[in-house]
Amino acid sequence: MKSRRSAISRRAILRGAGAAGVRLALPPLAAMFNTHGSAYAGGETIPTRFLLWFNGNGIPEKYWIPLETGPGYEATPCLTPLAAFRGDIHVISGLDSPNARVPGPGNEHMRSMSALLSGERFTGAGAGGPSIDQMIAARIGSETRFRSIEAGVCQESFGHSIQRNLSWAGRDRPLPPEMIPNKLFDRLFGARDEGWVNRKKSVLDAVYRDAARLQKSLGNEDNRRVDEYLTSVRDIQKAIVRLPPEYAKIEPPDATADPKDWPKVAKIQSDLLVHAIASGQTRVASYMLTKCQGLSRFPWLGLGSKRHHDYSHLEGGSLLQQEVMRDICRWHAEEFAYFLGRMKSVREGGGTLLDHTCIVYVHEHAEANDHKNSGLALIVAGHAGGLITGRHSKMTGSVGDLYLTLANKVIGVPLESFPTASGPLSGITA
């Protein structure tokens, strides 16, 4: 049986009945693209997305950075969760962040964070300039409902703005990440009235008739995609409903307990962010899994006695400290792998959402105990713009050189300069 195929707008949305204000932007459907899946039916190219992913407190280098370079590198204990995505990632080490070492206000975490995100020195209050994601969003953010989306998970930090925020619109101008799943859900799906906020009913109830009308005009494949999409929205909403009431508030930095199940929250936030990207609500996002100089506890890892930052300096870099940080960073990689898997599961044209995305996974410094700002270890994931993947590369240059290369050659954003950048890096794109 032949599937029906009638072109629909890539900006089509399902609207809620009445005054509910619910809107569900649709995921990529076959009917939105040309017959080859290489462009939209109207001739527009498939957009490239950029996402900045962050974990705080650095890494244990010997458990994180592979010894071998090239495609045949052996995955380290921290990177083993990413084995299924080996062909989708490029592990990069050796880059410098020179402005993190310039004496000035704040501690080493603060100076490292400002230099990592903006390339500028820490001002004493915040980042010294816009972060790379916001420099990109300033060029392409006007094309979508949200110029950018900022999401976060683990809430605990020392409380300073530079430690709590990943995205910066400009000097000392933070864009706080949304840490509460139900608030991010309501923002994306426009569910603002009291019934939606308290989860007394499903947002799908409001768009049921609109969805039924749409599906009558779609072929078999797209009907399956719409069904899967609506089911996933329902599953996310159910997951949020099942969170205890205390998850709807942010604890102060000096809280003495950390009872929240951060892996559960992380997966909800990842699912929501994938929905936002897939449905074209934004092309730029940031994801702050843990905070800079973060204070999270990790009871699901059997680590309940101390906080993340304490573990990063436990006994001055002893074997115990290294092994604990190994386990924490492996959890970070597990959550990153979950996000990559969700991105790769969304079909878009002739490929997947991950094929049209560039993701940069960073920490504020390298070796945790030493607050090391040379030899930074990071990951570039996705296949946008001919990204080279499936290898580990040791590179010479700065993190600014990497950002400038990605902006110009991958995202297609003509940045003339970036602080600490001297030129493009080779080996990033084919």
Indicate which CATH number applies to the domain containing 153. Answer: 3.40.720.10
SS3 of 425, please?
A: coil
- Summary mean pLDDT of the chain: 92
Q: What percent of the chain has pLDDT over 70?
A: 93
Distance between CA atoms of residues 381 and 388, nearest Å: 9
Q: Which of 249, 276, 296 is the last residue of a domain?
A: 249
Q: Are strands 13-15 and 167-170 parallel, antiparallel or unpaired?
A: unpaired
Task: Give the model's pLDDT for residue 1.
Answer: 33
Q: What are phi and psi of 162, to 5 degrees?
A: -65, -25
Q: Are residues 273 and 401 in the same domain?
A: yes
Q: Are residues 93 and 174 in the same domain?
A: yes
114-153 pLDDT tens trace: 999 999 999 999 999 999 999 999 999 998 999 999 999 9
Q: Are residues 148 and 261 in the same domain?
A: yes
Q: Could you tell me the pLDDT band of residue 4, with boundaries at 50, 70 and 90? A: very low
Angle at 332 between CA 387 and CA 199, to 5 degrees: 105
Distance between CA atoms of residues 217 and 7, nearest Å: 9
Q: Are residues 346 and 207 in the same domain?
A: no
309: CB partners within 8 A, 6+ apart = 57, 293, 294, 295
Q: Could you tell me the pLDDT band of residue 304, with boundaries at 50, 70 and 90? A: confident
Q: Are residues 41 and 72 in the same domain?
A: no
102-112 pLDDT tens trace: 999 999 999 99
- Report the candidate in 73, 87, 13, 10 with the shortest Cα–Cα distance to residue 41: 10
Compute the average pLDDT of residues 273-292: 97
**What H or E segment, with its residue span, contains residue 110?**
helix 108-118
Task: Using the predicted structure, report yes or no on whether residue 167 has a pLDDT greater than 80.
Answer: yes
Tokens of 357: 């995305």
Q: Are residues 161 and 290 in the same domain?
A: yes
Q: Is residue 427 domain-resident?
A: no
| Domain count along the chain | 2
Q: Are residues 133 and 264 in the same domain?
A: yes
Q: Is residue 379 domain-resident?
A: yes
Q: Is residue 368 domain-resident?
A: yes
Task: Using the predicted structure, report yes or no on whether residue 378 has a pLDDT greater than 70.
Answer: yes
User: Is the separation of the CB atoms in 202 and 234 below 8 Å?
Assistant: yes
Compute the average pLDDT of residues 8-23: 78
Q: Are residues 380 and 264 in the same domain?
A: yes
Q: Are strands 284-288 and 149-152 parallel, antiparallel or unpaired?
A: parallel
Q: Is residue 428 domain-resident?
A: no
- Could you tell me the pTM of the whole model? 0.95
Q: Which of 249, 270, 297 is the last residue of a domain?
A: 249
Q: Are residues 263 and 160 in the same domain?
A: yes
Q: What are phi and psi of 313, to 5 degrees?
A: -120, 15
Q: Are residues 19 and 73 in the same domain?
A: no
What's the maximum distance between 2 C-alpha atoms anywhere in the chain?
A: 70
Q: Which of 249, 272, 305 is the last residue of a domain?
A: 249
Q: Are residues 34 and 52 in the same domain?
A: no
Compute the average pLDDT of residues 340-348: 97
Q: Is residue 88 domain-resident?
A: yes
Compute the average pLDDT of residues 361-389: 97
Q: Are residues 274 and 349 in the same domain?
A: yes
Tokens of 28: 């990529």
Compute the average pLDDT of residues 18-28: 79
User: Is the separation of the CB atoms in 333 and 81 below 8 Å?
Assistant: yes
200-226 pLDDT tens trace: 678 888 888 899 999 999 999 999 999
DSSP conformation class of 47: P
Q: Is residue 425 domain-resident?
A: no
Q: Is residue 422 domain-resident?
A: no
Range of the domain at 29: 1-46+184-249
Q: Is residue 430 domain-resident?
A: no
